[in-house]
Amino acid sequence: MNKEVVLIVDDEKSILAAVSGILQDEGYQTRSAESGEQALEMITKELPDLVLLDIWLPGMDGLETLTRMKEICPDMGVIMISGHGTIDTAVKATKLGALSFIEKPLSMHRLIIEVQHALKQQWLERENRELRQKIERRQTMVGKSKAMVELRKIISTAGPTSGRVLISGESGTGKELVAREIHALSSRSFGPFVEVNCAAIPDDLIESELFGHEKGAFTNATYQKKGKFESAQGGTIFLDEVGDMSLKTQAKVLRVLEEERIERVGGTRAIEVDVRVIAASNKNLLSEIEQNRFREDLFYRLNVVPIHIPPLRERLEDIPVLINHYLQVYCRDNGKALKEMSSDALKALESYLWPGNIRELKNEIERLVIMTPGKTIKLRNLREELRRPVSLAENGFDAAGDLKSARDRFEAQFIVKRLEENRWNITQAAESLGIERSNLHRKMKQLGITLHPDSTEKQV
């Protein structure tokens, strides 16, 4: 027996009674509202599986009600009903997200078919979302080191709450994966997970990307656009590389966190947003605050639950587990029989410091799976720098200083060597390191590496 809930919104009591009776006979549960305002109040308390919404309503009309419903729940299934339907009205309703449009007088047979079709469509979309989540969960956190055990404990504690989370760690350590794990453990797991790479969006576009814009808000704004905060309604928004936002954008994000509502660029209407915010950065945000590049008040708004992901070189015991995991993933993805590592190849990979962290390791394992003939991956199949064990003495290191300074010296020499091998081409060097070009620029600036005079790249 069907248990789906259908909300019927119409100002004619006779239609409410007739449609409710027919749908109840078909096994559905029904709810009734005589105005758009009443319907909106009802769905904030209980989300129906489907809404039948009349266009002509007293006060707030059906199109405005549809818009407000989609703001509350973007995935809400809505069928529009009208006794004065026009093609223009139907087109507007479809653009606003209506599934279909039925004219009065209602054919009860057609109504039942439309309701069945709409609920089936909603079910398929929900199944697709769950399937995508399962695929995303396949990229599970791998490792048995003490650091990973502690990290899992923090995630399992923070995940089911609604607290904001700030994830820190070097590029390539898996900050997005941690954010997805937190989302999957939360009560919002069936809602959207929306990622925003703040470092990849130009300053003049990031506000439109985050908050959306109205038609005509700026040049080339030829249509209304929902922002990432609206798209994440009922779910989680992941602000990756949040430290790269301008101070102006930081101020607007802070206001959203305080008021839980946004205004589209060029708009005047406040839109309520119900999202959980998870942020991440590979920068030291406390240092950025000292240098007036990050707002202290925004930091404390985001840093309710701090999570730090250690770099791979600080948990080398996880490398064999990671290798085995990605061998299985990439062999399966590429339709190949499961490969294995020879003992000397595995030893070489375990002794490498992985400056690009897990992202670099994943890229290397995928390359080895694709390019290595036969079942066994041998030492000669590895990249040259992986075949040679790292010698600190050979690289001019001594035992002076602390671990961080020694690590920084090694990273600086390693990056310079890779830049030299690629004739100081930043893009090619970043690709060989398995990191993003922008991250290499930041790392060079952090370590005080300047470009070779003959380089054609822009100076960092």
CA distance 147 to 128: 34
Q: Are 81 and 52 in contact (CB under 8 A)?
A: yes
Going residue by residue through the chain (460 aa), what tens digit of pLDDT does each one get?
447 899 999 999 999 999 999 999 999 999 999 999 999 999 877 888 999 999 889 889 989 999 988 888 888 899 998 876 667 777 888 888 888 888 888 888 889 999 999 988 888 877 766 665 555 544 567 888 999 999 999 999 999 999 999 999 998 999 999 999 999 999 998 899 999 999 888 888 888 889 988 888 787 777 778 889 998 999 999 999 999 999 999 999 999 999 999 988 888 888 899 999 999 999 999 999 999 999 999 999 999 999 999 999 888 899 999 999 999 989 988 888 999 999 999 999 988 888 889 999 999 999 999 999 989 999 999 988 888 654 444 444 444 556 666 677 778 878 888 887 777 888 888 887 878 888 888 888 887 787 655 555 654 4
Question: What values do phi and psi take at 400, rounded to 5?
Answer: -75, 155
HSE at residue 437, side-chain half, CA atoms within 13 A, is: 9
Q: Are 226 and 237 in contact (CB under 8 A)?
A: no
CA distance 82 to 85: 5
> Is 396-460 CATH 1.10.10.60?
yes
Question: What values do phi and psi take at 172, rounded to 5?
Answer: 90, 5
CATH class, 5-131 region: alpha beta
Q: Are 76 and 70 in contact (CB under 8 A)?
A: yes
Distance between the two ends of the chain, CA-based, in angstroms?
66
CATH 1.10.10.60 domain position(s) in the chain = 396-460
Domain 313-387 carries which CATH code?
A: 1.10.8.60
Sign of CA dihedral 28, 115, 61, 15: negative
CATH 1.10.8.60 domain position(s) in the chain = 313-387
CATH 3.40.50.300 domain position(s) in the chain = 142-310
CATH 3.40.50.2300 domain position(s) in the chain = 5-131
Domain 142-310 carries which CATH code?
A: 3.40.50.300
